[in-house]
Structure 1
């Protein structure tokens, strides 16, 4: 019988850090992702997301998240891709780390975004999961640049960037739900990246790289 991973090789990718496992979100993982999001991600007064998806009622949040996961898979191509990695800590789903690229073969640049449920915040897990995808991008995919961004008031996200050696890369104004926010862009290269004192373990990379047309 043909396995799902033979059709979609990215499902076999797994990144392991000292405390976390990062692997692509499958349909079977969606309920755990929805439960984690429903438990709370940020204070109600201010959203760190330009699209206010966390503010949806419970009966709309799950379908909206599922549509996003399916949309990212459905639009996936080597020229334009977003890989959504679930984060597991001590066997529990605690958040999502995405990494993506457009025209990677030419630009060698990835971008990242993430969320963690509130009960998992404040323990350095956000830096650990971002470090994992940056290490994978630099050491396994051969990326030259990793980019990210956050609202200029988002000290937690920008603090992770600073810890990992990202440098400021200009600001822009963006629609943030019904508000306008100043967004701080950041970037890091292999030369400026502050590598963690642990080694990333990677499984399933060869098939994933072939699927991405990365040689």
Structure 2
């Protein structure tokens, strides 16, 4: 089986009704369809890389190609793990975990998205809780970082709910306009001190060398 050579394919992270897993071909098709239908409401901004602003077919292709590219470019020194998120067995979005020099820095970053029809149900919070468990408990991370536009309150609220603390701002250009992002950081000690739902991880041990965590 291919998982013998690429064990990430067998990785599963579960919390309540939500499962995270590397996308199969069918999962990737479902993710592309979600992206085609829309990820952000009109007039809102979600990512500094403006893939959500692309026309529907180009958004769908971006999801497919970026997923392939992340796996193709993977090394233990630099990796990005895009996981299909399923709720009650239905693909609803994507949760990503990424790092550079993880073996030395023990720091990860996260980002995620949900199809418009699946937003507002608490799924994003469960997705982040699951991937943080994978990072801290599974991989031995010491820090988790993320960022959100200051005018996009929903992801900021999720981060603060999960214990992240403000970590300064960044200023960038998006469509030739200055945008301000709030950086946030969660330490291992703070994560461990907070109440969390039960999370299960299956298939991680053979993947540890790929993360630079072995």
Same fold flag (TM > 0.5):
yes
Equivalent residue, structure 2, for 1:211: 210
Once the two structures are superposed, what CA deviation does each residue of 1:18-69 show, in whole Å capped at 9, x if it has no partner?
0100001233322100111122221121221112212222332332222111
Contact kept, 8 Å, 2:94 with 2:113, in 1: the verdict is: yes
Contact kept, 8 Å, 1:108 with 1:145, in 2: the verdict is: yes
Equivalent residue, structure 2, for 1:10: 8
Change over 3 Å in CA distance of 1:88–1:169 after alignment to 2: same
Equivalent residue, structure 1, for 2:162: 164
Once the two structures are superposed, what CA deviation does each residue of 1:47-99 show, in whole Å capped at 9, x if it has no partner?
21112212222332332222111110111000000000000012211000000
Contact kept, 8 Å, 1:111 with 1:146, in 2: the verdict is: yes
Contact kept, 8 Å, 2:76 with 2:209, in 1: the verdict is: no
Whether 2:194 is the aligned partner of 1:189: answer no
Once the two structures are superposed, what CA deviation does each residue of 1:171-206 show, in whole Å capped at 9, x if it has no partner?
010122332210110000122226444211110010
Give the secondary-structure state (helix, strand or coil) at the position aligned to 1:171.
Answer: strand
Change over 3 Å in CA distance of 1:61–1:197 after alignment to 2: closer
Contact kept, 8 Å, 1:83 with 1:99, in 2: the verdict is: yes
Q: TM-score, normalised by structure 1?
A: 0.94
Contact kept, 8 Å, 2:39 with 2:115, in 1: the verdict is: yes
What is the CA–CA distance in structure 2 between the aligned matches of 1:106 and 1:153, rounded to whole Å? 34
Give the secondary-structure state (helix, strand or coil) at the position aligned to 2:74.
Answer: coil
Equivalent residue, structure 1, for 2:120: 122
Contact kept, 8 Å, 1:88 with 1:94, in 2: the verdict is: yes
Q: Tell me by how many angstroms 1:208 deviates.
A: 1.3
Change over 3 Å in CA distance of 1:196–1:119 after alignment to 2: farther
| Residue ranges of structure 2 left out of the alignment (5+ in a row) | none
Contact kept, 8 Å, 1:50 with 1:177, in 2: the verdict is: no
| Residue ranges of structure 1 left out of the alignment (5+ in a row) | none
**Deviation larger for 36-45 or 5-14:** 36-45
What is the CA–CA distance in structure 1 between the aligned matches of 2:119 and 2:61, rounded to whole Å? 25
**Deviation larger for 75-84 or 201-210:** 201-210
Q: How many residues align structurally?
A: 213
Give the secondary-structure state (helix, strand or coil) at the position aligned to 1:202.
Answer: strand
Equivalent residue, structure 1, for 2:17: 19
Equivalent residue, structure 2, for 1:75: 73
What is the CA–CA distance in structure 2 between the aligned matches of 1:174 and 1:88, rounded to whole Å? 32
